[in-house]
Structure 1
Amino acid sequence: MAVVGAGWAGLAAAVEATRAGHRVTLFEMAPHAGGRAREVRHDGLVLDNGQHILIGAYTQTLRLMREVGVDTEAALLRTPLRLTEPDGRGLHLPPGPPVIAFARGVWGRAGWSLRERLSLLAAATGWAARGFRCDPAATVESLSLGLGETIARDLIDPLCVAALNTPANEASAAVFLRVLRDALFSGPGSADLLLPRVSLGDLFPVPATSWLQRHGAVVQTATRVRELARDGAGWRVDGAAFDRVVLATPPAEAARLVEPINATWSASAAAFGYEPIVTVYLQCESTSLPEPMLALRAGDDAPAQFVLDRGQLGGPKGLLAFVISGARLWVEAGRDATLAATLRQARHSLGTLLRGTPEARLLITEKRATFRCVPGLERPPMAIAPGLLAAGDHVEGPYPATLEGAVRSAVGAVDALA
C-alpha cells in the first residue's frame, strides 16, 4: 500500500495500515514529516509552526500517539478546561460529569450577570434537546443571538475561532455544535485541555516515523509524487505498483493528482477557501504567566485570542506565543503591522504580569492553516476511485480542520480499504 503525504493524516494512515499487516510505502514531498503541525528550528530554538492544542475528546489521536511510543502523560499537560483572562476571570470547568461541570463553570464565572448566566444555560439546554443540530445555513453568530454581547465576546467568539478558525459571523453553526457536543458534553475529561510540553515533532511525527521504519515501512521524504495512474486492479505511484493508495496530501496537491482520474472530486478539493493562523513569539525576560495559557480579548488593534507561556511547557523561560486565529485581515495588513499590534496588545493586556520589555523573536504565518468552515461547505468524499481513498481534515466529515479530524479520517480510510 502507498500513502501519499506524511502530515498527521498520512502518518496515522501509515501506522494503521502497518498495524493491519500491509507493507506500506510513505511518500512526503517535504524534508520532514508533520505537515501543518510541525516543529520549526530558529536561532537555536525548537518552536512550532503554530500552537496546536489538543483536548480530551481527541481519542483517536491519543490512541495512535501511545501506539508509536509517546508517553502522553509526560508529553501533554492535562488540565480541566480553563479560559482564564489576564485578570483571573474566565470560564473554569471543574472535574466531573460534563453537564454538571458546565453548569458549575457557567454559574461560577465572575463578571457575568445572573441574566447572562441563565441565558447561556438555557441556550445550552436547548442545543442538547435538539441533539446539537441546527439549520445547516446558520452561522455561529446567528446561533448566539439572544445570549448578549458579553457571552458572545467572552465565550462563543473565542471558542468558535479556536475550534473552527473562522469568524463567528461566517462560521458554520452546525459544525460548531458538533464540536461543543463532543468536547463539552460527551464524557468526563472530554473538555480537558492537553497542552504540548514537547515540540510538535516529538509529539507524533518523529516517533511515528521511527515506529514505521522499525516495523518495515518505507519512508521517502523530499519526494513529491508526480502522477497516480490505474494499473489493472491496482495503482501506480510514479510508476511503482501498489494494490491500494491513501492520498493524504493538502487539498490543492490532491486535486492536481486526482484531476485525470476523477475530475469531479478534483474540482471539489480545489474549491476550498482558507483561513490563516499567525503565531507571534515574544521574549520577555523572566516572565511567567499565572497559567500556561491565557485567553485574550481580540479586537481591531488586538490580534491575538490566546497567549501560551512556553516557559511552562518545556521551552525557554519568558518565551510567549501569541496565537492569531482567523488571521486573514492581519495577513493583509502585513508582518510589521501585525508585530506592532501584538506588542501593543501584550503590554496592554498583560500589564504588570510582564517582567521587562517584550521583544519579537519570530512571526510564523501558516497561510492555508485550515479551510474556511462556513455553512453549507461541500467537502470531497473519502472515496475517489476503487482502491484510492482520501484522508485529511478536509475530507467529508463532521469536524472542522483539526488534528483529530485528520487522524479519524485516516483511520476510516484504512478501515474502508480493508
Structure 2
Amino acid sequence: MDQYDVIIIGGGLAGISCGIELAQNNYKVLILEKSPHMGGRTASWDDHGMLVETGSHRVIGYYKHLPKLLKKAGVDINDIVSWEDKLDVLSPKHENVTTFGVAPLFGPFTLIRAMLGNNQSFSAKAKLSLAPFFKAGLNEYKKDPKRLDQMSILEFARQNGVHKDAIHLFIEALCNGIFFTPPERFSAYVFFGILAPAPSRFYKMRIGGFLGGMSEVMFNSLVYHFENLGGKIMLNSEVQRLITEEERVEGVSLNESNILAKHVVLATELGAAKQIINQSQIDLINFYSMLKLPTAAAVSVQLELTEPALEHDRTTFAPGTALASFSEQSRSTFTHVPGRISIIIGPSDRYIDYKDDSLLQLVYEESEKIGLNINGKVTDYRVVKHPEEFYSVAPGHDLLRPVQKTVVPGLTLAGDYTKQPFFSTMEGAVFSGELASKNVKKELNI
C-alpha cells in the first residue's frame, strides 16, 4: 500500500496551489481528482468536437497570488490573457449601451470618458449617488463586517440613497454577472469585499480574458510544474471517505483501494467536501459551520455561431435578463470558430433544473430583449452545470466559512469557500491553497 506525506483531494486551483507549495519543499504529494482532467472550475476540454470551458472566467488586474503561482510554472499572466480597459452593460430598460472604464492606469481616458458619458442611461445624479455608497460601504467593511454581512447589498444601497439607475446598471449588473445572484440575496459584506483590494492596488485594476482554453494556456503548465517537482496525480479517482484511526485522519478510501498519508488536504468544491465529511467516521460537530454553509449552483450556455455576436471581445452584463454575463470570445479564447459566446445564466438556482434545449430557448428569448441577435446563427452549443460547486454569498453566510486548519489531526481544508479575503474567485482558490500548505507544513513539523 502506497503511503504519502500528503494526499490532496481535488485537482483545481486550490489543490494544485497547495500541491506545488508542498512539493517544492520536498514533501511526497499525491493529488486525487475525480474527473478525467485537472483544473476543476478552471478546466477546458473537447466535448464531442466542441471546445468548452467550465464557465466564462476573467482575471482581475489586482490579483497577485494567481500570477505568482503561474510564474513558478514559467507562465507570465500577461502572455495568456487579453486585457480589457472597459466593460459593457446592456439592459432592456435602456436603448444605449452603458460602458464603464475599469483600468485607471492602463486606460485612463476610457475611464474619464465613461465617467463623463453614458448620460442617456446613467445620469450624473445616478453616478454621484454611488460616491457616498462606496465610502460608507468600504468603511463599514473594515469597522463592522459582521453587521454588514447581515444585510443585502440592495438594502444597503437603498439605505444610502443610491439612484435606481445606479442600482440597476451597476449593482445588479455586478451581483448577477459575478456570482449569478440578485442583489436582494447578495451579502453587502461580500460585495464590498470584492472591491476592497482595489483601492490599495488601484493602478493594477483591469479585466483579462484568456487567450485560449484555460487548461491549455494555464492549468497544464501548473500540472507539468507539479509533476516536475516530484508530485503525482491520479485522475478518475473519486474519494469516498477519509480513513480515520483514533480520530486522526490517516488516508483516503477510493472505490477499490485505500491510500495512506501523514496528512490529507480536502480541496474539493464545497458540495463534494460536505459529502466526503458526511461519509467519514469523524465527529461532525467539528464541521458544523461548514456543513451548514449553503451551496450555490452555476449554469453556462456556450454557443458557436456563424459570425461574431458582438463587435468586441469584452465582458458584458445584462441586468434585467437571465443573461448574467457573457462575452464574444471568437477573437480571444476560441479563435478557430467564426463566432463564439459564453453566457452565465442567472439567477442560477432558478435555472439549474432546466433541460438543455429549454436553456437554449431561454437564451434566444432573453438575447432579443437587449438586441443581441443570435437566433438562426447558432451552429452548436453546450450547457455546463455546477449544481453545488460554489458557496452561497447570501447575507449571514460569511460567518459559516471555515478556516483551513481543522481540529481533526491530519486534516486541512482548502478551497475558495474557506476563510480568506478573496471570496469565491480564482485568486481566493489559489490563496486558500497557500494557506493550507502552511498549515500542513506546520502540522508535519511538530
TM-score by length of 1: 0.89
Alpha-carbon distance change, 131 to 266 in structure 1, aligned in 2, over 3 angstroms: closer
2:328 maps to 1:309? yes
CA distance in 2, matches of 1:89, 1:200: 29
Q: Distance in 2 between matches of 1:254 and 1:84?
A: 36
Distance across 2 between alignment mates of 1:138 and 1:106? 29
Range 161-170 or range 326-335, more displaced: 326-335
Change (3 A) 1:109 1:67: farther
User: What is the letter of the counterpart of residue 212 of structure 1?
Assistant: F
Q: Assess if the C-alpha contact under 8 Å between 2:152 and 2:183 holds in 1.
A: yes
- 1:90 alignment partner in structure 2: 99
Unaligned runs of 5+ in 1: none
Pick one of 351, 376, 383 that aligns with 2:396: 376
| Residue in structure 1 matched with residue 154 of structure 2 by the alignment | 141
> Matched residues in 2 for 1:225 and 1:293: separation?
39
Call closer, same or farther: CA 1:128–1:4 in 2, change over 3 Å: closer
Letter in 1 for 2:281: P
Q: Deviations over 1:239-276 (max 9, x none)?
A: 44322221112334333443422412444333333332
Distance 1:46 1:260, change over 3 A: same
SS at match of 1:293: coil
Alignment-derived partner of residue 251 in structure 1:
270
**Cα distance in 1, alignment partners of residues 241 and 124 from structure 2:** 61
Matches of 2:271 and 2:81, distance apart in 1: 32
CA-atom RMSD, angstroms?
2.9
**Deviation string for 1:102-148 (max 9, x for gaps)?**
78754444332221121112222333444555533111111211212
Is the CA contact 1:255–1:267 (under 8 Å) kept in the aligned structure 2? no
Provide the residue aligned with 2:29 in structure 1.
24
2-side partners of 1:243 and 1:407: how far apart?
Answer: 23
Q: CA deviation at 1:217?
A: 0.9
Aligned to 2:305: 284
Partner of 2:184: 169
Partner deviation per Cα, 1:262-297 (whole Å, 9 max, x = no partner): 412444333333332222223331226222124243
- What SS does the aligned partner of 1:383 have? coil
> Residues 290 and 101 (structure 1 numbering): CA distance in 2 closer, same or farther, change over 3 Å?
closer
State how far apart, in whole Å, the 2-side matches of 1:104 and 1:142 are. Answer: 30
Secondary structure, aligned partner of 2:56: coil
Which residue of the partner structure matches residue 129 of structure 2? 119
SS of 1:127's equivalent in the other structure is: helix
Pick one of 49, 52, 61 that aligns with 1:44: 49
Please state how far the C-alpha of 1:333 moved relative to its aligned partner: 4.7
SS in 1 for 2:350: helix
1:275/1:367 contact within 8 Å kept: yes
Q: Secondary structure at the match of 1:311?
A: coil
2-structure distance, mates of 1:350, 1:210: 44
CA distance in 2, matches of 1:361, 1:237: 38
Residue 176 of structure 1 and its aligned partner are, at CA, apart by 1.0
Q: Which segment drifts farther, 366-375 or 48-57?
A: 366-375
2:412 pairs, out of 379, 385, 389, with 389
Match of 2:81 in 1: 76
Closer/same/farther in 2, CA of residues 36 and 18 from structure 1, 3 Å limit: same
Alpha-carbon distance in 1 for matches of 2:439, 2:353: 41
Tell me the residue number matched to 1:320. Answer: 341
Contact 1:6 1:34 survives alignment (8 Å): yes
SS of the residue corresponding to residue 184 of structure 2 reads: coil
Percent of residue pairs identical: 20
Question: Equivalent of 2:435, from 402, 412, 418?
Answer: 412
Q: CA deviation at 1:81?
A: 4.3
Q: Secondary structure at the match of 1:292?
A: coil
Deviation at 1:234, TM superposition (A): 7.2
The counterpart of 2:384, out of the listed 364, 368, 373, is 364
- How far, CA to CA, are the matches of 1:355 and 1:163 in structure 2? 26
1:58 CA displacement: 2.2
1:398 paired with 2:403, answer no
Q: For each residue in 1:145-164, what CA deviation from the matched residue of structure 2 results, as whole angstroms up to 9, or x when unmatched?
A: 12122111111111122333
* Range that drifts further, 82-91 or 340-349: 82-91
> After the TM superposition, which residues 113-262 of structure 1 pair with which residues of structure 2 at under 5 Å, given as runs?
113-130=123-140, 133=145, 135-145=148-158, 146-182=161-197, 184-230=198-244, 235-238=250-253, 239-258=258-277, 259-262=280-283
1:36-82 deviations in Å (ceiling 9; x for gaps):
22113124232202111121122111211221233322211112242
Larger displacement relative to structure 2 (201-210 or 262-271): 262-271
1:351 CA drift (Å): 4.7
Change (3 A) 1:125 1:105: farther
Q: Do the aligned partners of 1:166 and 1:275 also contact (CA within 8 Å) in 2?
A: no
Shift of 1:380: 2.5
Which AA in structure 1 matches 2:222?
Answer: A
**What is aligned with 2:364?**
343
State the distance in 2 between where 1:131 and 1:254 align. Answer: 29
The alpha-carbon distance between structure 1 residues 39 and 417, as it changes in their structure 2 partners (threshold 3 A), is same
**Is the partner of 1:2 in helix, strand or coil?**
strand
Distance, in Å, in 2 between the alignment partners of 1:17 and 1:79 is 34
User: Which stretch shifts more, 75-84 or 13-22?
Assistant: 75-84
Residues 358 and 229 of structure 1: CA distance in aligned 2, closer, same or farther (over 3 Å): closer
User: Normalising to structure 2: TM-score of the pair?
Assistant: 0.84
* Counterparts of 2:379 and 2:367, CA distance in 1: 10
Cα 1:208/1:263, change in 2 over 3 Å: same
